[in-house]
Amino acid sequence: MKTLIKLFTGLFLFFIVQVGMGQGITSSAHDFSGDTWNATGEICVVCHTPHNAIDGASPLWNHELSTQTYTLYTSFTLDATMGQPDGNSKLCLSCHDGTVAVDNFGGTTDGNDYITGEANLGTDLSNDHPISFTYDATLASDDGGLFDPSTTDSGLGGSIDADMLFDGKLQCASCHDPHNNANGNFLVMSNDASALCLTCHDK
Amino acid sequence: MILKNIKLIILLIMPVWLFSQSIVNTVHNLSVSGPGQIKATTETEICIFCHTPHNSKPLSPLWNRNDPGLNYTLYNSTTTQATIGQPDGASILCLSCHDGTIALGNVLSRQADIDFSMGITTMPPGNTNLTTDLANDHPVSFVYNSSLAAADGELVDPVNLVWPVMLENDKLQCTTCHDPHKNTYTDFLVVTSKYSELCTQCHEKNYWISSSHRNSIATWNGSGNNPWFHTPYTSVSENACENCHNPHNAGLDQRLLNFPVEENNCLDCHNGNVASKNIQVQLNKPYSHNVYNYNLIHDAAESALVLTKHVECEDCHNPHAARNLSASAPNVRGANVGTIGINLNGSDVDPVQYEYEICFRCHADSPDKPASPTSRQIEQNNVRLEFDIGNPSFHPVAGPGTNPDCPSLISPLTESSMIYCTDCHASDGASSPAGPHGSVYPHILKFNYTTADYTPESYQAYELCYQCHDRNVIIGGGNNFQERVHKKHIVGEDAPCNACHDPHGISNTQGNSTNNTHLINFDINIVHPTGMGQLYFQDLGSFSGRCTLRCHGRNHRRKSY
C-alpha cells in the first residue's frame, strides 16, 4: 500500500513539474521583447521593475495603471457583491482595458500603442466573467451553483481558496497565469471538458 | 492506515457523486463526451456551447451565442390576463438553440462553427425544437406579479413562490420551469412534473384539490392510444394537468391542450380505456349532445348564456373540478361541479348550485336554443320559464310540484320530491353513465317515450313516464277518475301521454291555474278546437275537471269528470 501511495505521489509530482516547466512567458504572447514599442528588448520590464515600483502595486509593478471606472457584470442570478476591479486585476487591466498605452511603462506616459482585438476587454466589463468579488463558503451556499472554495479541491494541489483566490477574492489571476501559456489563453489549467469552469461552478 | 484508505475511497467516490446531478451527464453536455445523440465531433469544452468568460453577448449570463433576433408567434388565449411580449431574458438564450434557427455549434468565441456528429447543424425537428411558432408553448417573458395573480384569480401570488421556482426580474422565463444545468427530473425541470407538482407552484385552479383529474388512481388499460403520450407517468393522478395539457408543442394552441379537436382531450380517457364509464359510446348514439358537430366555437371565456349554438364537454363539465360525488336533486352532481350556469331568475351563476342551471345555458334564454318538438296550445321553448316554481304546473325540477295528490308516484317519490332534468334526459341503458350524453331515443331520453297518436298502450310505449308513475295506478282503473280519464284515453283511445300533458311545465306568463294545472297543454296536432273554436281544460278541484275540445273526431263540450 505504501508503495502504491509513493507511486501516486511520484506521478502527481511529475505532473506538477510538467505543468510548472511548461512554455513559460518566453515566446508567449506576453513576451514583448521583440515588439517595436519595447525599446528595452526585455521581457519582464513591461510589467515589473526590481526597484522604484509603482506605490501600492505589488508585485513590483512597472506599468502605468488605468484610472477608469468600469461597468460591472450584473445578472439576476448573481449573488456575489460586486465592486470595482482591485488587487491583481487592476494590473491586468492596466493593459487590457485598452485605455493605457502598452508602452507606458517604466515611467513613460506618452506611449501610443494600445492593445487590440479580443484581448481588449474595454472598460465595459459587463460581458466578462466577474472579478474582484469575495468568493467564500457563504457565497457558494447562497448561490447553490458554486462549490465551497474552502473545502473544494482546485485540481492544482490544494483548495480553490488556497490556489486560486487572492485575499478570498476571485481575480483575473484565478483563471489566468500571465507567465505561462502552456494551456492556451494563459489559463491556469487545461479547460478540456470545461475543467477550469467546473472547478468552481457546480453545474 | 485504515483511516487513510477510507479518505482515499471517499475522494475517489466524491467526484462521481458530484457529477451525478451535473450538466456533464445530461444532454446539455454537447461536447464530444456528452451522453446524448446530438453532440460535437471533437470539441471537449462543455460550457462553451452557451457561455464564454469574455466578450459575451447578450451580456449575462456570459452568453456565447447570437440572439436569433426573430419575431416569434406568441401564445395567445382569451383567458390569459398576462401581457405576453417577444421572448427576452433567459428565454431568448434558450431559443438561440431551441427555435431551430441557429446552428448549435455557432458560438461567439470560435471563428468557425463547432462540428456536430451526424451532420447536425441546427436543432433537429422534434419536441425540443420549438420553432419560431410559440403559440403552442407555455407563454414566457411576461410579467408575473401580484396584480396578474389577482386579475387571473387562479394563480399563486408570486411573492409566495419558493425556490427553485424563480422569476427573472418579475418575468416568467424558460428558466422558471427549467434548469438547463441539472436534469434531476425529466426535461431539466426544476420541480418534478409528477402529480403536476411543478404546474401547481403557480397554477391554483379553483376546485382542483378535490378533482378526480388530480386524485384518481385510474390507469390506462393498454387499448387504443396512450392518453399520456408526452409523460412517463401511468395514472391519472400522476399526470394531473398533463392528462389534458401539454406545455410545449400542444395540439391546440389556446390553453395548450393535447389534441386539436376539443372532445378528443376528454375522450382519450373517457372511452373505456381509463375512466370507468365510456362516454364516447354514448356520444356516438343517434340522439346526443353532439360534440363532434362543433369545432372551436366553445370558448372558456364565453358567457354563461350561450349565444352561438354549440356543445362541448366543457360546456357542462369543469375538468378542473369534476369529481365522483353523488348528490340529490336539484343539487349539482360531482361530475358537473364548478361549471357556470343561469339560475331560475335568468342571472349568471358561477359556480352552479343546481344541475338545471347548466341546462339553462342553452335551453332557456339562449337566442339559438333548440325548438320544442311538440306543437302545443301554449308554445314555450324557454325551459327556465317552463320550470318556474310559480307556474300553474311543472315537473319538480326547480322545486316541488304544485299537485298535492299524485297517487301514481312510485315510492320513495312523493309529492314533495324533486327530480333532475337528467332523470329523463340521459343516456339509455341500465349501466350507462348519468347525464344526457347520447341515447337511442329522441331528445336524449333515458327511456322510450312515444308521442305519436294512436299508440297502443304498453309499458314500453311510455316507459319513461312509468319509471315514476306506476302503470298499474295510471291505467288500472278502480275509481271514476282513473277509469274515465287515464285508462279511457291511454288504453281506450290509444292516445299518448304527450297529447294532453306538456312534460316540462306551463309558464305562468302564458298559462293559468284554471286551465294549465296537471301539466295540461294540448298537442294541437292531436287535440283540436271544437267547431266553435274552443279548446280548453278547466280544473274543477281534486280529481275533477272539464274539457272542451275535439279529439279523434269527437267533440267534448264541457265534458266533466
DSSP secondary structure letters along A12-58: HHHHHHHHHTSS-STTSTT--TT-TT-TT--SGGGTB-SSSPPTT-T
Question: What's the grid cell of residue A173?
Answer: 489571476
Q: B341 lies in a domain?
A: no
- 3-state DSSP of B35-58: CCCCCECCCCCCHHHCECCCCCEC
Q: Tell me the mean pLDDT in the region A189-199.
A: 96
Q: Tell me the mean pLDDT in the region A110-137.
A: 96
> For residue B364, which of B501, B464, B500, B507 has the smallest C-alpha distance?
B507
A73/B182 CB distance under 8 A: no
Taking only Cα atoms into account, the Rg of chain B, rounded to an integer number of angstroms, comes to 33
B536-539 and B527-528 beta bridge pairing? unpaired
A193/B61 CB distance under 8 A: no
AA identity, residue B175: T
B18/A202 CB distance under 8 A: yes
- 3-state DSSP of B77-89: CCCCCCCECCCCH
- Alpha-carbon distance values, B535 to B31, B375, B423, B532, B545 (Å): 91, 14, 32, 9, 14
B55/A118 CB distance under 8 A: yes
> Which of B47, B109, B167 is the best mutation test for A, with the most CBs of A within 10 A?
B47
Q: B202 lies in a domain?
A: no
A192/B46 CB distance under 8 A: no
Q: B408 lies in a domain?
A: yes
Q: Break chain A down into helix, strand, coil percent, rounded to 5.
A: 30, 10, 60
> For residue B425, which of B439, B415, B412 has the smallest C-alpha distance?
B439
The DSSP symbol for B409 reads B
How many Cβ atoms are within 10 Å of B247's Cβ, its own excluded? 18
Extended beta strands in B372-447, E state: 393-394, 438-439
A-chain residue closest to B8, CA distance: A5
If one counts the domains in chain B, the total is 1
- Partner residue facing B22 (CB), from A118, A175, A203: A203
Q: In the predicted model, what is the mean pLDDT of chain A?
A: 90
**Count of CB pairs separated by less than 8 Å, A with B:** 69
> HSE on the CB side for A160, CA within 13 Å?
24
- Partner residue facing A128 (CB), from B45, B47, B53: B53
- As for the ipTM of the complex, it is 0.84
**What 3-state class would DSSP assign to B191?**
coil
Chain centre distance of CA A121: 14
> Which of B62, B165, B188 is the best mutation test for A, with the most CBs of A within 10 A?
B62
Q: B62 lies in a domain?
A: no
Q: What is the pLDDT of residues B502-517, one digit of tens each?
A: 999 999 999 999 999 9
B171-172 and A169-170 beta bridge pairing? unpaired
> HSE on the CB side for B359, CA within 13 Å?
27
Question: In the structure, what pLDDT confidence band is assigned to residue A153 with cuts at 50, 70 and 90?
Answer: very high
> Which of A121, A164, A203 is the best mutation test for B, with the most CBs of B within 10 A?
A203
Integer Cα distance of B27 and B40 in angstroms: 12
B23/A193 CB distance under 8 A: no
Chain B residues in contact with A194 (beta carbon < 8 A)? 31, 44-48
- Report pLDDT for B92: 95
B411 burial type by CB count under 10 A (0-12 exposed, 13-18 middle, 19+ buried): exposed
- Report pLDDT for A11: 43
Q: B413 lies in a domain?
A: yes
Residue B554's φ and ψ, nearest 5 degrees, are -120, 145
- Alpha-carbon distance values, A160 to A92, A201, B54, B290, B334 (Å): 21, 11, 21, 69, 61
A76/B56 CB distance under 8 A: no
Number of H helices, E strands in chain B: 15, 12
> For residue B510, which of B415, B414, B376 has the smallest C-alpha distance?
B376
- Report pLDDT for A6: 52
Residue B445's φ and ψ, nearest 5 degrees, are -85, 145
Distance between start and end Cα atoms, chain B: 114
Domain residues for the domain of B439 are 390-560
- Partner residue facing B54 (CB), from A77, A118, A201: A118
> For residue B198, which of B167, B176, B223 has the smallest C-alpha distance?
B176
Cis peptide, bond prior to residue A85, ω within 30 of zero: no
- Partner residue facing B60 (CB), from A74, A121, A193: A74
Question: In the structure, what pLDDT confidence band is assigned to residue A57 with cuts at 50, 70 and 90?
Answer: confident
B45/A73 CB distance under 8 A: no
Nearest CA to CA, how far is B89 from chain A (Å)?
10
B45/A192 CB distance under 8 A: yes
Q: What angle do CA B230, B233, B238 make, to 5 degrees?
A: 115
Chain A residues in contact with B181 (beta carbon < 8 A)? 145, 203
Residue entry with cell 472579478? A131
Q: B195 lies in a domain?
A: no
Task: Show Cβ contacts of residue B106 under 8 Å, excluding neighbours closer than 6 positions.
Answer: B65, B66, B113, B114
Integer Cα distance of B465 and B448 in angstroms: 9
- Report pLDDT for B58: 77
Task: Show Cβ contacts of residue B228 under 8 Å, excluding neighbours closer than 6 positions.
Answer: B220, B234, B239, B242, B243
Nearest CA to CA, how far is B203 from chain A (Å)?
24
Determine contact, residues A140/A148, Cβ cutoff 8 Å. yes
Residue B43's φ and ψ, nearest 5 degrees, are -60, 130
- Report pLDDT for A76: 87
Q: What is the pLDDT of residues B87-128, one digit of tens each?
A: 999 999 999 999 999 999 999 999 999 999 999 999 999 999
- Partner residue facing B54 (CB), from A121, A192, A193: A121
Determine contact, residues A178/A139, Cβ cutoff 8 Å. no
Indicate whether A23 pLDDT > 90.
Answer: no
Residues from B contacting A (CB-CB < 8 Å) are 1, 5, 18, 22-24, 31, 33, 44-48, 51, 53-57, 59-62, 168-169, 181-182
Integer Cα distance of B174 and B358 in angstroms: 39
Would the CA dihedral through B408, B409, B411, B416 be positive or negative?
A: negative
Integer Cα distance of A33 and A43 in angstroms: 5
Integer Cα distance of B3 and A192 in angstroms: 33
A-chain residue closest to B181, CA distance: A203
DSSP secondary structure letters along B356-389: HHHHHHHHTS-TTPPPPSS-BSS----HHHHT-T
A191/B45 CB distance under 8 A: yes
Integer Cα distance of B228 and B244 in angstroms: 9
Q: B249 lies in a domain?
A: no
Q: What is the per-residue burial (b if ≥16 Cβ within 10 Å, else e) of B207-225?
A: bbeebbbbbbeeebeeeee
Chain B residues in contact with A146 (beta carbon < 8 A)? none
Q: B536 lies in a domain?
A: yes
- Report pLDDT for B19: 43
Query: Which helix (H) or strand (E) covers residue B560, if one does?
Result: strand B554-560
Residue entry with cell 482546485? A154
Q: In tens digits, what is the pLDDT along chain B, a chain of 561 residues?
A: 444 454 544 444 444 444 447 899 999 999 999 999 999 999 999 999 999 999 998 778 999 999 999 999 999 999 999 999 999 999 999 999 999 999 999 999 999 999 999 999 999 999 999 999 999 999 999 999 999 999 999 999 999 999 999 999 999 999 999 999 999 999 999 999 999 999 999 999 999 999 999 999 999 999 999 999 999 999 999 999 999 999 999 999 999 999 999 999 999 999 999 999 999 999 999 999 999 999 999 999 999 999 999 999 999 999 999 999 999 999 999 999 999 999 999 999 999 999 999 999 999 999 989 888 999 999 999 999 999 999 999 999 999 999 999 999 999 999 999 999 999 999 999 999 999 999 999 999 999 999 999 999 999 999 999 999 999 999 998 888 889 999 999 999 999 999 999 999 999 999 999 999 999 999 999 999 999 999 999 999 999 999 999 999 999 999 999
